[in-house]
Amino acid sequence: MTTRIAVSGAAGRMGRTIIELLRERPALALGAAFEQSGSARLGEDAGRVAGGGALGVAITADPCAAADAFDVLVDFSHPDAVPANVEACRAAHRRLVVGTTGLGASQRAAIVAASAVIPVVFAPNMSIGVNLCFKLIEVAARAIGDSMDVEVIEAHHRNKIDAPSGTAMRMGEILAAALGRDLGACAVYGREGRTGVRERRTIGFETIRAGDIVGDHTVLFAGDGERIEITHRAGSRATFAAGALCAAEWLAAAPPGLYDMQDVLGLR
């Protein structure tokens, strides 16, 4: 049975990549495509916008009106578009995959509330490799404890609008939980001037925005005489798109609830 996928943010980098990858998956088909109201791409064929042949699916702005056309909505849009997508899926009992980053507290709360009614995969990074790194840094942090300094370093392309990245923040959350720390109290976002001696229990974040870097993330554990680095470098957005589509397929058998890629990959 074919699962019909809707893509929100269909004209963006990730949306276009997901649509192209769908062509290679016979069990999945594009059912709908969305962009925000006012987008210059509204009305265009989503397949052509993605750089391939026509798919017969026009880009529209109203997910509620197209709810009968899809089974799972994959959201890589803009934080402002997320609440409408969540409400459309909740009202129509459609499954939802959210990969959009830079969300505020109210937008996150809407996702959590919807997960009481529908199955939702919400993850800052859909890459299988990144999610394996999440597990590795948790294991390393528990073993190392407070014996080393911890830093999170991330790099993305010049057009990325949020910093630190959602993936870097998730790494910080995992580290803080494993080390028994409050991330809100111990996070340090960049350093300048006479900062004094580094506090051992801080978790530092360094952000790079340059060129066309798809996404690099490193967690550095540094002690006296040695250091450990766990690094993931993405060379193509196809890695994130493939993970998102794996999540969409996995949701078919999932009951209502809030999940992430650790659940999808069986890494819990």
Q: Residue 267 has what pLDDT?
A: 86
What pLDDT, in 10s, does the model give residues 102-141?
A: 899 999 999 999 999 999 999 988 999 999 999 999 999 9
Task: Say if residue 109 is in the same domain as residue 158.
Answer: no
Whether residue 90 sits in one domain with residue 19:
yes
Which pLDDT band, with edges at 50, 70 and 90, does 252 fall under? confident
d(CA 121, CA 9): 17
Is residue 220 a contact partner of residue 150, using CB atoms and an 8 Å limit?
yes
Do both 226 and 242 map to the same domain? no
249, 28 in Cβ contact below 8 A?
yes
Distance between CA atoms of 41 and 49, rounded to whole angstroms?
8
For residue 18, the enclosing domain spans: 3-122+237-264
Confirm if 16 and 50 have CB atoms less than 8 A apart.
yes
CATH of the domain at 206: 3.30.360.10
221, 88: one domain: no
* Shared domain check, 245 and 156: no
Residue 135 bears catalytic tag: no
- Of 78, 93, 135, 156, which is the active-site residue? 156
CA distance 49 to 12: 9
- Is 160 noted as a catalytic residue in this protein? yes
What does the pLDDT average to over 152-167? Answer: 94
CA distance 76 to 12: 8
pLDDT, tens digit, 9 for 90 and up, residues 34-76: 999 999 999 999 999 999 999 999 999 999 999 999 999 999 9
Q: What is the pLDDT of residues 4-21, one digit of tens each?
A: 999 999 999 999 999 999
pLDDT at residue 155 in the model: 97
Whether residue 8 sits in one domain with residue 86 = yes
223: Cα separation from own chain's centroid: 31
Of residues 93, 135, 160, 217, which has the active-site annotation?
160
User: Number of structural domains, the chain?
Assistant: 2
Mean pLDDT (the chain) is 95
- Residues 155 and 208 occupy one common structural domain: yes
